[in-house]
Structure 1
Amino acid sequence: MIPSGQPSPATRVDASPPRPDDITTLALGDLAEGVEWRRPVLLDADLVVLVTGGHGTAELDFRPLPCRPGTLLRARPGQALRCEAARIDAVVVRWSATALRGLDVDAAADVPAHWQLAGEEADVLRNEVTQLVVDCRRQPDGPAARALVRHRLAVLLRRLALLPPAPAGGDAAGAGPRTENATFRRLRQEVERGYQHTRRVEDYAARIGCSVRTLTRACLAATGRSAKQVIDDRVALEASRLLAATDEPIARIGRRLGFPEPTNFGRFFTREVGLSPGAFRSARGGPAGNGRPPARRG
């Protein structure tokens, strides 16, 4: 599901709602469900993707990530994913938001989005994923089997959380900063709750209980960007996801993100992304023009 607001008529990973304890394994191509990756798909579940063969590129939120055997991707609900599925073989572990309820594991832990496994680390994580796949496919459905699969997933996520930080000065792992100060973490949380309603730094400072200057210092230390830029980045990312992966009318996307006037949304998006909303959608495989929502599936 998209992090906030009503879900749009998007290309989804699954047309039917998952069971509360749903944990499944599938092939990479199954995620695209007939669209053959012509456009990104909006994810409505958490994913771990382990590349087992081939070479190619995956795009996660429009960032190209090189993939080869041993590449691991960690994707989250609301993100836009596109893969060269014809050139990459991978196993996908997919689970719903409540699959880990009651277990002492933080599914939201700061795990790298992209990691190239090597050595013992690769062997251990490959074995964890393989065993999870075996248990998902071979164990008969029942309370004991579901408990086993849930615990397998919890172990896998714990191991991912223990991955070392990205190499100093390098960005190949795609991890980004692994530590952030408390003020910046709070801002990110509040932005997730409120980016559709306000882009004012003053509003977030009031919610957190600090000054605008403190927020700006925290953002500059964590990202090199100001608090206002961090907030606008999040709005632009959500707009990009919806434009690329859905046929929702551009004006409606703008209203959902707090722009009652389409012209204001167009100016904001062009300033942040460098393309107009229509040009960005067309470049990502969507229809030119404003677009019309397709019929809902399922």
Structure 2
Amino acid sequence: MADITDVSYRPGLSTPIGMDVVDFAELRERGRRREIDLATPQRPDFHHLIHVAADAEPLPHAVDFATHVIEPGGWLWVRPGQVHQYAAEPGGALHRSRGVIVIWRPGFVAVDPPLGEPPVLPTGPTADLVDQARRHLLAEYDELGTLTLEAHNKVLRALLAVLLLRLAHAGPEPSTAAPPDGPFERFRAAVERDFTRTHRVADYAAALGYSTRTLTRAALAASGTTAKAHLDARIVLEAKRLLVHTDATSADVARLLGFRNPGDFNKFFRKHDGRTPLAFRAEARGTARP
């Protein structure tokens, strides 16, 4: 069992404010210098856009209990707050593969299209357009001295937004993002902020000035699940993070997540996972008895 390492945004020297580009070799070196074991669970407070070179080996990458394989030419977006792990053991995939990681602080770009797991592998003409966007972004990133810092950052913001939008539409069916200031996005942000304080959709609706029916319709349209299902899933995810990556007791986890008593938490968790919290922990850590 390994505790979660909270990783804050620390760009390299002489990099644009709010964004950085790191290849896999530099990532390993930064981990060594900062004494961060890349094979352990990490929770960064910034975005990761991971790209595996077209002629490199696939890269397995774990994000919140799901392991994804980024194929050559593929991409994976890890958002702030997600717990992820590299296959970084000596001689492992991170050492054998090649690629780059674009990292940026929340707010560096306004666009936030629905791109994430599973990894995106552009094909056909779209692949060429995505690669052009990638090369243009990296070229501008390297040209730090040809523009003022303010102009340089504006160019990078625009090019990163283009790359994200190209990737969001790289699949067979382009995704449609919910309006950034619409009911669902406001609800999702409120849940992220307050899910340990209240577990009632009605409380979020009242705080945001919507009816519960409006939030449910917005959630169904944007994610295919109800507002209550979205809220419960967020609570379950955090419970699993705490159970697997910390030694907190079930009672401790219940308290941290805002449950009145451990019994309510046990019932809630079992309803959504099918196991008790401690049974889930034992299976996830490989310590369950046969």
State TM-score, norm by structure 1.
Answer: 0.70
Contact 1:254-1:262 within 8 A present in 2 as well: yes
Amino acid aligned to 2:232? D
Structure 1 residues 132 and 165: CA distance shift in structure 2, 3 A: closer
Structure 1 unpaired stretches of 5+: 1-8, 169-174, 289-298
Amino acid aligned to 2:266? G
Deviation at 1:94, TM superposition (A): 1.3
C-alpha RMSD over aligned residues: 3.8
Structure 1 residues 11 and 95: CA distance shift in structure 2, 3 A: same
Structure-2 separation of matches of 1:123 and 1:180: 27
Aligned to 1:49: 50
Deviation at 1:71, TM superposition (A): 0.9
Deviation at 1:252, TM superposition (A): 3.9
Aligned to 2:189: 189
Deviation at 1:155, TM superposition (A): 0.8
Aligned to 1:61: 64
Aligned to 1:158: 162
Amino acid aligned to 2:270? T
Structure 1 residues 281 and 136: CA distance shift in structure 2, 3 A: farther
Aligned to 2:106: 97
Contact 2:41-2:83 within 8 A present in 1 as well: yes
Contact 1:70-1:118 within 8 A present in 2 as well: no
Structure 1 residues 284 and 34: CA distance shift in structure 2, 3 A: farther
**Identity level (%):** 32
RCO comparison, higher one (Cα < 8 Å, 6+) = 1
Deviation at 1:112, TM superposition (A): 4.5
Structure-2 separation of matches of 1:15 and 1:283: 33
Aligned to 1:228: 228
Structure 1 residues 136 and 183: CA distance shift in structure 2, 3 A: closer
Match of 1:70 among 70, 73, 79: 73
Structure-1 separation of matches of 2:9 and 2:219: 38
State TM-score, norm by structure 2.
Answer: 0.72
Aligned to 1:296: none
Structure 2 unpaired stretches of 5+: none
Deviation at 1:70, TM superposition (A): 1.2
- Cα deviations by residue, 1:201-247 (Å, 9 ceiling, x for unpaired): 22122223343334334434444433322211111122223444455
Structure-2 separation of matches of 1:151 and 1:280: 47
Match of 2:22 among 21, 26, 29: 26
Deviation at 1:108, TM superposition (A): 3.2
